[in-house]
Structure 1
Amino acid sequence: MEKKASMVLSALLFLAVSLTGCTDKAPEVTEAPKKTEENKAAPSEPKPGGIVKYGYTQPFKGLLDRAFYGGEDDNLILRFVTDSLLKTGDDLKTYPHIAEWTESDDHKTFTFKLKKGVKWHNGDELTMEDWKFALETIAHKDYTAAGGSRYSNVEMIVGVEDYREGKAKDIAGIKLIDNYTMSVTVKTAAPNTVSKLWSYPMPKKYFAGVAVKDMLNSDQVRKKPLGIGPFKVKKIQPGEYVEMERFDDYWQGKPLLDGAIYKVVAGNMATSLLENGEIDIMAAPNSQFKEVEKLTNVNINKQDALSYSYIGFKLGTWDKKSEKIIVDPKSKFADKRLRQAMYYALDRQALIDAFANGLGKAISAPMPGVSWVKIPDDQLNPYEYNPDKAKKLLDEAGYKDTNGDGLREDPQGKKLTFNFDAMSGTEIAAPRAQTMMQMWKDVGLDVKLNGGALKEFNAFYDVVEHDDPSVELFAGAWSLASDPDPSALWKSNVLWNFPRWYTAESDRLIDEGISEKAFDPNYRKDVYHKWQKLVNEEVPMLFLNSPVDVTVSNKRLQNVKANSFTNQIDVHKWWVTQ
């Protein structure tokens, strides 16, 4: 759950991890000055020129095409390089951008009209062939096997199954009218069709000769990505930095900055890097907020995030052949009383206060407070910190200390331990994991780091996504799409349902939330309230908190805006005073 992209309609990953060893120095950029009497007040008129450094605290994966990326790490680069045909407003609604649309009376056929003269970074003009090519790529039978995860953003189109299975050469529901006009017909009317439909084109000519199965590791994705955004990629040092330069023919006008450098930095150095002007803008770790707040050369923006952190239970596996979750009735966590007990054992508010400077709110369902369908707290079990209740539930479920060592055995009297996976990186990663494990130990549960250590970001998601048999309990986070439809994370047929949990009722409610009745927003909200209550009772995850994002920018950088989705709004309008 993207992991914070305005129109990435599948969910995107959002987690902060640290810098691994750098082997190549990033391009030198004149250091941004600290606050002085001369630069307190910015000029009233924007001035062109200058380069800014954008810092991020995890090595990026380097999947620099929208159809294949999966995390916030790559998303932040793509926000400089790519544009969506549609855009998401501060109100989380979908609006025209490069394309506008009309809708049939039955809400099934959408006709999109593209602006003329929009150019790719190589000078080719953007046409509807490029969007059609993107939809066909995502619908292709080899796409998911090649590492793509956006099929849920095209599966609603008429004829997708026949195309995917090789029964048709084209997708029946896609009609190319001319170079700038295309219609898309969907199987059923839904209130979120436009917001969910994949809206990022791919340069068809540029990918000519590259099979879908080979795209993930192609130069077009890894080394020389092509976009229609305000900046184009100049140089990539994998996992360390991406240097970008201004695209003069950008469709919204020549950007003001000469360029931008996306640079991986050590999370524990964020405050000093901002203070010294080595980084111009970044989402600062909440654990350093008190130190960042004291800096005099920066502006700080706090924004309730459309995201949440969680502890997930592995309750099954992903079957690649059927592309469906197989729930394991023998999972260590099959008894929901155990899952609920582990919830009661966590003092979530103490974790927020100790490791995030209080920047967050404990939640008990997978909808953050900024979502318009968030269920009122008083309608959910809040799972407030209550170790006595946790112990009682464990006793009832048969998890008892039978040998007097202070740790509980399983209901069959056998030794019981749980593997816990969490990510490394920030200075608080290890102590936070140790604190949670101690809280579980206080109620008699033996939880240990899987392999004895925290994992780097990409290694963590590799074992979680591929259901490594050693993974049992894992700490992660999701940044969500603008529409509240939870399909991309919670349906029985989606890869990103990492706990591998579903029920027939959960699938039914999720489908009901995008039914024709759900065109009534009150009906839709009621459906999602019922779904949140179900998840709250079944506890496939321990929902920890919905965070407050802190964007910190040097005062020389002007026109930075943020919302619950991103701090990279209209980057072509960014400019610097020096």
Structure 2
Amino acid sequence: MMILSCKSLLRGSRALLCAASVLVPVAASTGAQAETVKAVMMSGLRVMDPVMSTAFLTRDHGYMIYDTLLGVDSEFKVQPQMASWTVSDDKKTYTFTLRDGLKWHDGAPVTSEDCIASIKRWGGVDTTGLALMTMVEDITATDDKTFVIKLTQPTTLLLSGLSKLSSRPAFMMPKRVAETPGSQPITEYVGSGPFRFIEEEFQPGVRVVYEKNGDYVPRDEPPSWTAGGKVVNVDRVEWVTMPDQMTAINALQNDEIDFIQQIPFDLLPLVEAADGIDVKVIDKLGSWTYFRMNHLHPPFDNELVRQAAMAAVGQEDVLRMLVGNPEYFQTCAAVMGCGNPNEDTYGEEWVVSADIERAKELLKEANYDGTPVVLLQPTDIAMLAAQPIVMADAWRKAGFNVDLKTMDWQTVVTQQGNQKSPEEGGWNAFSTYSILATSGDPFGNTTLSTAGRKSWAGWPDVPEIEALRLDYARAANAEEQKAIAAKIQKLAIDKGVVGPLGQFRIPAAYDSEWTGFLEAPVTLFWNIQKAAE
């Protein structure tokens, strides 16, 4: 630990935050001066397996050390990344060829067998992968650099799935790692991506260290989202956990850190007024926030009770407490996002505005007996702490018996997969958010998997939606897809699959000496560099 000095804060408005010294954990010196970027991410990293978790932080960790066969650019176009591809005339046979120079971090070459094992592990867990694998006839290696995927029918899911941005991208791993069952976490973190994970310096929930992968060969194209060249200009990236947001802002002002992934909206004026700090919304499309209910256990195993919960919560109430500044938020009933091609307004008359009386009537009709609702609230992420408070207040007004349980986000993440009843340590509801860039269709949108216990947390069982999702994958054009998406929207609202809470954009802040932060739906650490002194 060290006490921050105020001497360097006397430049312009940087002095505003220097009323008192602040204690900040600082890593021990590593010897020679390396070009290092120190970042405060949304929380501390504990869940390391990007196949087992849909958490954004685990996804961001994945992009540091792993690579994907395909990428997506800012025009939403699928591009080659680790591999190029050709497709047969009947659109049912895809041949993938790995590009030259691909090595795992242990020095071994990346092979087709590695990729096949990785695809199968991902495809056995991910909601897009599960649907895709029902259409895969066979995956075979032609040689060390070429493999073939044969489909039973044409589908858009193959390319969109292998290029998936979030959550749970199809990261490639060595075969020995990828053969770990999808129900078990991996224990070896070897990728082929632009950074190496430094395990000996890892402190779970406290500090993560990555070093530049000197063997990585970037593509030649300019970077765009997860496509193009991943050129690393720094030697090290350190993720330092600072649960207290004011501490993180003071550290940024005092040059102890270089980047804060998410600035709480109530503290935004402090960094906007400071000299030497840039504030930027990196994800221009933004995010949508929502809540999930556990369909397996009372009281949300009752459709009417789920509808009551959705009717009771007003989006503007949530967004004003979460964001405050209307420049950064908008209400929206569309479960696939306002502004996206599948935007739909069904349900807005009772999903957007709070209707406590309707909620009370629905609870009465459902014969709700006061069964406690265990609502999880993460306290260490500003973008997730407000929603449960507003929800709990609204639900209590409607007549729900709410048990608000506070914990850190990584504990919520580990709890999400717990299918036990609340009495046995499970849960009834939680809220989170997803990026709009990947929520605009029924496969990228994790909430729209409704295959019961095989689905994502909440485990809704709506066979009609599952059938419509497959129809969407087979649709001949965008018009057909939009018509199918409208049917999914109606079912998702009526069945209480997901409770939309509105949309918002999150600002990041960083030392203005750094440039090259890519505008993208995910936080990426290639392309950035420090200005020459």
Q: What is the SS of the residue equivalent to 1:398?
A: helix
Query: Per the alignment, do residues 233 and 84 of structure 1 end up closer, same or farther by CA in structure 2, a change over 3 Å counting?
Result: same
Q: 1:398 aligns with which of 357, 364, 373?
A: 364
Letter in 2 for 1:127: T
Q: 1:181 aligns with which of 146, 157, 160?
A: 146
Measure, in 1, the Cα distance between the counterparts of 2:416 and 2:215: 42
The answer to whether 1:276 aligns with 2:254 is yes
The answer to whether 1:203 aligns with 2:203 is no
Q: What is the SS of the residue equivalent to 1:156?
A: helix
Residue aligning to 1:26: 27
The answer to whether 1:478 aligns with 2:434 is yes
Question: Residues 115-264 of structure 1 correspond to what in structure 2 (within 5 A)?
Answer: 115-138=99-122, 149-150=125-126, 152-153=128-129, 156-157=132-133, 173-197=138-162, 199-204=170-175, 207=177, 212-213=180-181, 216=184, 219-220=187-188, 225-234=189-198, 235-252=201-218, 255-264=232-241
Shift of 1:492: 0.7
The answer to whether 1:422 aligns with 2:377 is yes
Query: Per the alignment, do residues 226 and 309 of structure 1 end up closer, same or farther by CA in structure 2, a change over 3 Å counting?
Result: same
Shift of 1:158: 7.5
Measure, in 2, the Cα distance between the counterparts of 1:127 and 1:416: 54
Residue aligning to 1:37: none
Shift of 1:60: 1.1
Measure, in 2, the Cα distance between the counterparts of 1:23 and 1:467: 38
Letter in 1 for 2:392: M
Shift of 1:415: 4.3
Q: Deviations over 1:425-475 (max 9, x none)?
A: 1468666533432233333333231xxx30222322333321231122322
The answer to whether 1:555 aligns with 2:507 is no
Q: 2:71 aligns with which of 58, 63, 87?
A: 87
Q: What is the SS of the residue equivalent to 1:237?
A: coil
The 8 Å contact of residues 306 and 479 in structure 1, kept in 2 or not, is answered as: yes
Shift of 1:366: 2.0
The answer to whether 1:463 aligns with 2:415 is yes
The answer to whether 1:363 aligns with 2:332 is yes
Residue aligning to 1:311: 291
Higher percent of residues as helix? 2
Residue aligning to 2:470: 511
Measure, in 2, the Cα distance between the counterparts of 1:124 and 1:108: 32
Shift of 1:54: 1.9
The answer to whether 1:567 aligns with 2:518 is no
Q: Deviations over 1:303-360 (max 9, x none)?
A: 34464222222222xxxxxxxxxxx6xx323554443333333232132123213332
Residue aligning to 1:498: 457
Shift of 1:88: 0.8
Residue aligning to 1:291: 270
The 8 Å contact of residues 286 and 357 in structure 1, kept in 2 or not, is answered as: no
Shift of 1:115: 0.9
Q: Deviations over 1:229-283 (max 9, x none)?
A: 2221233222221222222221118732121112222142332232222221232
Letter in 2 for 1:294: A
Measure, in 1, the Cα distance between the counterparts of 2:301 and 2:64: 44
Q: 1:104 aligns with which of 72, 82, 88?
A: 88
Measure, in 1, the Cα distance between the counterparts of 2:148 and 2:46: 34
Measure, in 2, the Cα distance between the counterparts of 1:483 and 1:541: 13
**Long gaps (5+) in structure 2:** 1-22, 163-168, 220-230
Bigger mean CA deviation after superposition, 424-433 or 77-86: 424-433
The answer to whether 1:343 aligns with 2:310 is yes
Q: What is the SS of the residue equivalent to 1:102?
A: strand
The 8 Å contact of residues 322 and 383 in structure 2, kept in 1 or not, is answered as: yes
The 8 Å contact of residues 248 and 255 in structure 1, kept in 2 or not, is answered as: no
Q: What is the SS of the residue equivalent to 1:350?
A: helix
The 8 Å contact of residues 50 and 576 in structure 1, kept in 2 or not, is answered as: no
Measure, in 1, the Cα distance between the counterparts of 2:154 and 2:431: 36
* RMSD, aligned CA: 3.3
TM-score by length of 2: 0.79
Residue aligning to 1:14: none
Equivalenced residue count is: 479
Letter in 2 for 1:448: D
The answer to whether 1:411 aligns with 2:390 is no
Shift of 1:96: 1.1
Q: What is the SS of the residue equivalent to 2:398?
A: coil
